[in-house]
Amino acid sequence: MSNVAITVNGTPHTKEIEDRTLLVQFLRDHLGLTGTHVGCDTTQCGACTVIVDGKAVKSCTILAASIEGASVTTIEGLADGEKLHDVQAAFHEHHGLQCGFCTPGMIMASVNIIERHDGVLDETTVRHELEGNLCRCTGYHNIIKAVLSASEKYRTAHAAAAA
């Protein structure tokens, strides 16, 4: 057992956990944040994607104990109360989901892609960078539309802020 301190969505948490606890188990079972999904459990599908210290990672393949002191953002940390994050709103507007199981991972990966590219994205880049997220409904076209729309909004907002 280890005492592990991790900040999740801005709130510091310290938990006594088994060393084998995966980050996704820490989030779901210890903090009750079940928005992060376990799809394949083999590092392939990306449904468990969260952002650790600014990087999108697959939380099913990281030991919680190994990111002691880190700052994690999950799908629960995006919306501002009732107001959806721009990427969430874009998925809603463009119907970027069918069954919705992959959506939390898709959205977290997309938020990270948009931030890493400062909102400057084209379809090829989005498709390439979303390689690690699988949608078994194969609803990729609308997901890509949603990400491009949200990236446009991000770019405009940041250009306005810089002006």
Partner 1 sequence: MYETIYHKPGTLQEAVSLFAEVEEAAYLSGGHTLIPTMKGRLAAPAHLIDVRRIPELSGITVGPDRIIIGAATTHATVAASEKIRALVPSLCGLAGSIGDVQVRHVGTIGGSVANNDPAADYPAAVLALDSTLHTDRRSIPASEYFDGLYSTALEPGEILVRIEFKVPEIAGYAKFRNPASRYALAAAFVARHRDGNIRVAITGAGNAGVFRWAEAETALQAQFEPNAVKGLLPDDNDLMGDMHAPADYRAHLVGVVTRRAVEHLGGTVIE
Q: Per rule CB under 8 A, is residue 113 in the interface with partner 1?
A: yes
Taking each helix axis from N to C terminus, what angle separates 140-162 and 86-93, rounded to the nearest 10 degrees? 140
The rounded distance, in Å, linking the Cα atoms of 146 and 90 is 5
For 83-135, the DSSP string reads BPPHHHHHHHHTT--SS-SSHHHHHHHHHHHHHHTTT---HHHHHHHTTT---
Shortest distance, position 71 Cβ to partner 1, whole Å: 15
In the list 46, 77, 96, 104, the residue contacting partner 1 (rule: CB under 8 A) is 46
Shortest distance, position 101 Cβ to partner 1, whole Å: 17
Q: Which is nearer to partner 1, 53 or 92 (CB)?
A: 53
In the list 61, 71, 98, 142, the residue contacting partner 1 (rule: CB under 8 A) is 61
Tokens 């959806």 belong to residue: 84
Binding residues for partner 1 (CB under 8 A) = 2, 18-20, 22, 41-43, 46, 49, 55-58, 61-63, 65-66, 68, 109, 112-113, 129, 131-133
